[in-house]
Homo-oligomer: A and B are copies of this chain.
Amino acid sequence: MKACRREPVDTTPVWLMRQAGRYMKEYRELRARVPFLDLCKSPDLVAEVTVSAAEKLGVDAAILFADLLLIVEPLGFELEYEKGEGPQVRPAIRRAPDLDRLREVEPDAFGYVFEGIRRTRAALKPELPLLGFAAAPFTLASYLIEGGGSRSYTRTKAFMYSDPGAWRALMEHLARNLAAYVRGQIEAGVQAVQIFDTWVGCLGPADYREFVLPWSRALFEALPREIPLIHFGTGTGTLLESMREAGGSVIGIDFHVELGEAWRRVGYDVAVQGNLDPSVLFADREVIRSRVERILHQAGGRPGHIFNLGHGILPDTPYDNVAALIDAVHELSCHPATL
C-alpha cells in the first residue's frame, strides 16, 4: 500500500499475477474436485485459495481469486470453460443490433464475489492488503466480440473500425458497468484494484487513443481516488504514455520494456509494477536472482516500485523457483547497497 502511494518502504513489495494457480500443488488438487467457475462462485473456496497462496508464498499482497469474465453473465452472456480450452462467451456480439442484448448489471449479481471478498478479508492476516480486479473496457469488449480469446483480434478491430458509433456505445456500457462492479469490490473490502487491459497491446497507439483511452479513463474516473488503482496490459510497449493518461496510480509494466525506461516514460509521479518475464521462472535460481537484481537496479530504490511478473505465472512453472523469486526480491531489495 505504501509503494502504491510512492512512500518509502524497507523492502520492495512483491506479489504475482496468478499467484494462486496451476503451478501450485494445492490448487491442482482442489481443481481436480471443483470446476473452475464453481470455485470462483464459492466464497469459502475463494477465501481459502486466495489466502493460502498468499501466505504460503510469503508475498506482500493477496489478489482475490476470481475470473476476469465473471461480469459477462450479468451482462447477458453465457460463460463456459471447456476442459483445456480458454473461455467461451456466447452469443458473441457480431453486429450493432447485438448490442440490444447488453443488460445493466444488477448489484446483487456479484453477491458471491463480494461475499468472497468479505470472507477472504476476514481470513487474511490484517497486514496483507487484498487486491480486487476487473477487466478494462477494451479487453472485456474483445471477449464479447470474439466469443473468447484470439490471436489477432480481427473481429474486434473490424467492429471498431467499421462502426465507431456502435463501438462507443459498447465501450460506454462496459465502462459504466465495470465501474459499478469495482466499486462493489471496494465496498466489500479490497484495498486496491488492478484493472487488466490484458489484450490492448493488439492495437497501435493511434487506435488506442481513438478507440480505448476515453472509456478506460471513464472507468478510472468513476472510481474513488483514495484507492490505489493499478493499470496493466501486455504488449503495451508503445502504449504506456497513453495508458498512464487514461488513469491509474500504478502502471503495470510488461516484460517487453525495460522497467527503468518505462518508468521514465510514464513519469515518476506514478508508481510502477513489474516486470520479470514469467519464462525466467523456468531457468535456474542464479538466473532468476540476477534478473531480479537487474529489475531492482532499474527501479533504482525510488519509492513506488511493486515487484511483479510482466504477465501471469505460467501453469507449468516449478513452484520452488517461484518461492526463490519471492525470497530474492525481499533479500536483494533490503540491501540497496548491493544493487
Question: Which residues of A pack against B, CB within 8 Å?
Answer: 152-155, 157-158, 161-162, 201, 203-207, 235, 237-238, 255-258, 261, 277-280, 282-284, 287, 294, 314, 316
Return chain B residues, CB-CB under 8 Å to A235: 235, 256
Return chain B residues, CB-CB under 8 Å to A152: 278-279, 314
Across the interface, A206 reaches (CB within 8 A) one of B204, B258, B279, B282, namely B258
Return chain B residues, CB-CB under 8 Å to A278: 152, 154
Please give the distance in Å from A146's CB to the nearest CB on chain B: 12
Please give the distance in Å from A314's CB to the nearest CB on chain B: 6
Asked whether, in the complex, the Cβ of A157 is within 8 Å of the Cβ of B279, the reply is yes
Given contacts A238-B237, A256-B235, contact A282 B204 (CB under 8 A): no
Return chain B residues, CB-CB under 8 Å to A316: 154
Determine which residue in A155, A204, A255, A287 has the highest number of CB atoms from chain B within 10 A of its CB, and name it.
A204
* Bound complex: CA A53 to CA B207 (Å): 31
Asked whether, in the complex, the Cβ of B158 is within 8 Å of the Cβ of A283, the reply is yes
Across the interface, A283 reaches (CB within 8 A) one of B161, B204, B277, B314, namely B161
Asked whether, in the complex, the Cβ of A204 is within 8 Å of the Cβ of B161, the reply is no
In order of increasing CB-CB distance, the 6 nearest A-B pairs are: A158-B282, A161-B283, A157-B279, A237-B238, A237-B237, A154-B279
Asked whether, in the complex, the Cβ of A206 is within 8 Å of the Cβ of B162, the reply is no
